[in-house]
A and B are shown apart, each in its own frame.
Chain A
Amino acid sequence: MSEEHRETGTGWPRPGEPARPSGPAGEPDPRPDAPDPDELSPLAPVEPVEPAPDEVAEPAEREAVPESEPEPGAAAGAGAPSAARRFSSAGAMIAVLLALLGFTLVVQFKTTSTDPTLAATREEDLVRISSDLDSRERRLRQEIELLEESQRQLRSGEQGRQAALEEATRRADELGILAGTLPAVGPGLEVRFSGPAKAVSSTRILDAVQELRGAGAEAMQIQGADGTAARIIASTYFVDGAEGALVVDGRRLTGPFTIMVIGDPATMRTALNIPGGVVASVRDGGGNVTSEDREVVEVSQLHAPIKLDHARPVS
């Protein structure tokens, strides 16, 4: 390749001329053509008009002369002075052109580096990029929908769990009130039993409790004169103790007794006062029963939870 090139380079004027016509079309062998890009003849229609013959002749002479000359710089200088006027104008032109080249080079660099994809891209590429972006956007949109869907599902699952938790909590509260493990508050009655032990026996108290339960009592506690209190739940028992005392769930209460009960006051009062009912039988025995409506009745006494040794929930 290099030998080839060198040959053509030395014999430039000859191959240069024949190469000219073939240049614009295909340039079968760029190397012979390349040696003289000044001989821009292939691309430049202007050139052949006048400078071509001149140059072809000129370089040939010059080449022949300087090759024998020892100093290349002197040779270059010797060629130019012959046309001093032309040199200055052409030199200025060259300077301007090269400055322009540097300028555009930098500008182009900046353009491509600041906006490497879009500004310097041609139309069909832009169309392709645009459609790429469109399909990407579609994909991302689908992904968003999917994610939103799963978010909805998770949220509804969470809501379901939340509702189940609330329901369970509510149930636990209700059961806790029923089982006596939670304090309760609400409207109800304060029923006071006073009188001799015979009139206010455990049977009478149990009757009263049953009556109140039948009337819809939801939470009850019984309190003795000395402040000892017991929560009344399903398993509470009442036994007559010594000296007119009442034993409730193992606690000894002395009269008079007060039952705090939460429920509908009117219904419960009616239930207590029915003829032949609790109030009547206590009064028959010489005792007295007073009941007061209360906006807020507090049933604060707690019953220790029963430890289950044998029963297990079914499920």
Chain B
Amino acid sequence: MTTEAITQVQTAPAQHRKRRNWGDGPVHVVLLVIGLIIALPVVIAFFMSFTPLREILSQGAAPEILPNTWTMENYDKAWTASPFPRYMLNSIIQTGVITIAQVVFSVLAGFAFAMFEFRGKNALFALVIGSLIIPFELTFIPNFVLISDLGWANTYAGLTVPFLASAFGVFMMRQFFLTIPRDLYDAAKIDGASDWYYLWRIMVPLSKGAISAFTIFAFLSAWNQFLWPLVITNEESMRTAQIGIRFFLVNQERATDWGAIMAGTVIVMVPTLIIFLFAQKQLVKGIAASGLKG
């Protein structure tokens, strides 16, 4: 099923005409080599996470990619020797709250910009677009001061509240809603549907593709955040997975326990890799949207 879906997108219109005289052989070889080189860091991490520490160290200067004997001891160590379960829980809460809020608020605001006429509409929309080009370094120090003054350092509120809205999401939703025929709205109104009903019962189901593309985009951005959770948490119990792996690296590297470090790395990557493998279509769509319209 999934493979089919992926194949479908990925063999989407290719523009070059076929050059039959050469055959496809060379292109296959070149793409395979490039693909393997690019995927290699992740592949190495995956196999090393199952390699016993003895083996890693004994190989020394001639490291091998595949383990000779497979072990789960690295995962045991990563999961128990550090608060990894807690890091993952924190990341799940932080990412979940940010993603849900960004999607819901973007749908609401996108709907308002697409369907309503109101005073200051153009100015407000300009403010949305304007916030897209503001570099984060202009905002993150005052935000740090504000969140600290509110007493929200080392809390889920501190991790999430500054990111509950997304200008990109508002823009993407508005653009998509504008492609849905206005007549549908007028017809629903005649039938006595409220705006609220129309939005959630008609507009949202029609926009599933765009909404899921943005949802995945929002999830990835939130899960992969680094600088903000690094500065706003200093208690171990409030670290997110990305910050956790950073400190886990610092601790375990002294013990040269690379197997455990790679096990931790794989744990942190798993949610994003699952999305990558099973929702690649929406992911690529979301990213391409940021490029083609941005």
Asked if A and B bind, the verdict is no
Q: Which residues of A contact B (CB under 8 A)?
A: none
Q: Which residues from chain B sit less than 8 Å from chain A, CB to CB?
A: none
